[in-house]
Structure 1
Amino acid sequence: MSPAHVLEPTYDALRRRLIAGTWPSGFRLEATKLALDLGVSITPVRDSLNRLSGERLVQATAGIGFHVPRLDAADINQLLDWHEMLLSVGLRRIETGEAQLDIPHGHNGIADHSAILFGSIGMAAGNGELDRAIANAAARLGPYRRMEADLLAGAAAEIDEIDQTARAGSWESLTHLLQQYHARRRAIAPHLAHAVREN
């Protein structure tokens, strides 16, 4: 195992690139090339790729190695369903007064705004397992969220409305908006899958 002072920055760098959609789906992640690119030895890269594989941000195939997961429309729909379920659990805890929702201001585009907004719901729910599950689903959806502006009319305005509704504490309206949000993305799942493959 690599020492933490080398492993953590390597892991963080690779994770950020995966979430940002730096590589198209199905792209082979060669540890030697990544090590050269990051200026580290191959060991922290392999350790990081194994860790990211456990988080399902990387796919490991025996005899082939590591690659960026290739999600099809059905996979994306299942991930969106899971994300919606997790958020509904978080909102129920917030709505009952068990937690306080605090959404930071400032973001860099739709994907970043979505991650901040939904991450805030996860944190406010007051359950570490739920928070980590929402964060993981968000990370896996990251590359697809970056395609929304091109594929979905009014996507940025939609996130703004969800944000404002959450800040206002209008829980019933927020639940309805989140249902619409996920339904709209499920409707374009084939296009999202194609766009990330061609990225």
Structure 2
Amino acid sequence: MIRILASVCGLVAEHPMTRKRADSFKIALDTLREELRAGVHRAGSRLTANDIAERLSLSQTPVREALSRLAGEGLLLDRRGQGFFVQSLAEQDLIALFRLELELLLIACDERSSLPPLDLDRLVPTATETPPDAAFVLASERLFRVFASASSPPLARHLARLQDQLAPLRTVEPRVLHGLPAEFGQLLDVISSGATETVRSALNAFFARRIGVAAALIRALDAADTIESI
């Protein structure tokens, strides 16, 4: 009875094996998520728990759990009996995801009470984090998360999931779109101003630009995959 009460009150230490498994799951999940976001794994490629576990020096069980979690988030495709595969987005899929992200941000625009002070140095990654052009792709993603969080944390979590799905295609934006630093600067100024209609207009323009080059983004990602595989 004492042990049961102690467990309920959080007084019994977590078993080392349980903690180790949780740590292994987090390592696998975080590593795979970042690899998928960066486009490390080619669209349509199969990911196996055995290969990943060996590469990360982990057991297969937490790796399988991480693969299942990512499949549930739409970053992988779980084909029963065949394994896990990297999602391959068609042009219409990409357009739909961009439109969904826009809609979430427009909801945030209508519902937010106030936007906290923005720290530009925190939004724009340093040169050691990512190449200069790509920095502004990540900066806009961070800006949108801050913006959504000011409205609703649950909305921000849905936005983050969409951004993870879009991330591989957004990595090739610098190859397709010009003027990303200037675009980000204007977007930051508009969102900081807080004028709802101006913000809505800027968000519509931002995503219209990307929807207009959806096919080109897919071709650029395919070309990058081909170059890396040679």
On whether the aligned pair clears a TM of 0.5, the verdict is: yes
Question: Unaligned regions of 5+ residues in structure 1, if any?
Answer: none
Percent identity, aligned pairs only, is: 29
- Greater RCO structure (CA 8 Å; 6+ sep): 1
* Deviations, residues 43-96 of structure 1 (Å, cap 9, x unaligned): 1111000000000011111232111100010000000010000000011112xx
CA root-mean-square deviation: 1.7
Partner of 1:179: 204
Partner of 2:44: 26
Q: Secondary structure at the match of 1:177?
A: helix
In 2, the alpha carbon distance for the partners of 1:190 and 1:147 equals 12
Count the aligned residue pairs: 195
Q: Which has the larger radius of gyration?
A: 2
1:147 aligns with 2:165: no
Q: Which deviates the most, 75-84 or 54-63?
A: 54-63
Partner of 1:81: 99
Question: Unaligned regions of 5+ residues in structure 2, if any?
Answer: 1-17, 126-134, 226-230
* Deviations, residues 69-125 of structure 1 (Å, cap 9, x unaligned): 00010000000010000000011112xxx2433434332313311221111112111
In 1, the alpha carbon distance for the partners of 2:181 and 2:36 equals 22
1:159 aligns with 2:184: yes
Contact kept? 2:175, 2:220, Cα under 8 Å: no
Contact kept? 1:110, 1:149, Cα under 8 Å: no
Contact kept? 2:115, 2:194, Cα under 8 Å: no
Partner of 1:48: 66
Give the letter aligned to residue 194 of structure 1: R
Partner of 1:193: 218
Measure how far apart 1:136 and its partner are.
0.7
Structure-1-length-normalised TM-score: 0.91
Partner of 1:124: 150
Distance 1:102 1:124, change over 3 A: farther
Structure-2-length-normalised TM-score: 0.79
